[in-house]
């Protein structure tokens, strides 16, 4: 359980959503080896942060914890909250291009080409493996959050026009990071 053991002393209540260009957003995340109390508390904090920002998905590296885990709630109904530990996309089909934003890249929106339907395999907090197929928004969440687990951001998927349209917001994020 190497990835989790190194970070067991993190103050979970102090976690916050980190922003581009923070280098932790570019890390390829390590697998979660054991679902323990740390992971459960991390998940709870991630749901709090995601809900506070009215997000539909949040990956662990977006709060600075570089493990393969994300949470999602596409409907904003608390009964719809889902946890995906060590997720991997096992199939995809169809294509669509829709505007996306990201809690870690605030103020930046762009059209992103993604698959319309995606099946993800992951583990629940109870340790059981499962598969889930999502379409449209849910499929986009799966792909967006799995990108985060591999160190990719929506800025990596932008076309030239989107880069030009978002250059001011990107520059402001970079300047804020340089001030810290």
pTM for this prediction:
0.93
Q: Which of 99, 100, 145, 174 is catalytic?
A: 145
All structural domains of the chain: 2-179 (3.90.45.10)
- Helix, strand, coil percent content, the chain, rounded in steps of 5: 40, 25, 35
**CB-based burial of residue 120 (10 Å sphere; 0-12 exposed, 13-18 middle, 19+ buried)?**
buried
Instruction: Based on the residue annotation, tell me whether 99 is a catalytic residue of this protein.
Output: no
The whole-number pLDDT of residue 7 equals: 59
pLDDT digits (tens, 9 = 90+) for 73-105: 999 899 999 999 999 999 999 999 999 999 999
């Amino acid at each position: 359980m190497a990835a989790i053991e190194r970070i067991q002393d993190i103050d979970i209540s102090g976690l916050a959503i980190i922003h581009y260009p923070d280098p932790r957003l570019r890390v390829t995340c390590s697998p979660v080896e054991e679902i323990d109390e740390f992971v459960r508390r991390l998940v709870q904090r991630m749901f709090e942060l995601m809900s506070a920002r009215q997000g539909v998905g949040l990956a662990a590296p977006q709060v600075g914890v570089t493990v393969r885990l994300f949470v999602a709630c596409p409907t904003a109904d608390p009964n719809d909250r889902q946890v995906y530990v060590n997720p991997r996309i096992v199939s995809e089909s169809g294509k669509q291009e829709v505007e996306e934003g990201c809690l870690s890249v605030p103020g930046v929106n762009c059209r992103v080409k993604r698959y319309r339907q995606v099946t993800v395999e992951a583990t629940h907090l109870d340790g059981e493996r499962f598969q889930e197929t999502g379409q449209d928004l849910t499929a986009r969440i799966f792909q967006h959050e799995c990108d985060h687990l591999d160190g990719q951001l929506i800025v990596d998927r932008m076309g030239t026009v989107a880069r030009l349209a978002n250059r001011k917001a990107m520059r402001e994020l970079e300047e804020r990071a340089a001030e810290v």
